[in-house]
Amino acid sequence: MSDIERISLSIEKTLLVQLERLVAASHYENRSEFIRDLIRNCLVDQEWAGGQDLLGTISLVYDHHVRGLTERLTEIQHAFAGQVLATTHIHLDHQLCAEMIMVRGCGQEIKALADQLQREKGVLHARLAAGTTGQQLRRPARVHAHPHRAR
């Protein structure tokens, strides 16, 4: 037996039209999967607001000709050794490099690392992509919308 539950939803017609546009633009097969992913994204946002064990990726673009920058970026990552899982470094051209740093830990520590990396002179762009370990997503909480309805 499937864990899928069917629900009904009341929504304004104008909002439904916008939902259909979003679903189509995102190339989802149906609106149910689109809404499931919206809910999962909201749950990940809640994880980041709390103190859970989180996963993320910090992307950097920087000028490696800036004196001492490469060493400073490495030192910062060493200071957060418990959070840094892996780093990938690529050369974009003769002057610019990119790094993708996979991190795990509490949200405050991960954000502190991303902020510290971004503040370094020569870092042109830094972005934290907030992720999840998936622990909260695979533990479905049973919600009883109709407590008197037999299951």
pLDDT at position 150: 45
**Backbone Cα Rg of the chain:** 21
Which residues, in sequence order, are bridge partners of residue 88? 100
pLDDT at position 151: 41
Whole-model pTM: value is: 0.71
| Whether pLDDT at 61 is above 50 | yes
Which residues, in sequence order, are bridge partners of residue 132? 54
Instruction: Using a pLDDT cut of 90, give the percent of the chain over it.
Output: 60
CA dihedral sign of residues 64, 68, 71, 73: negative
pLDDT at position 149: 47
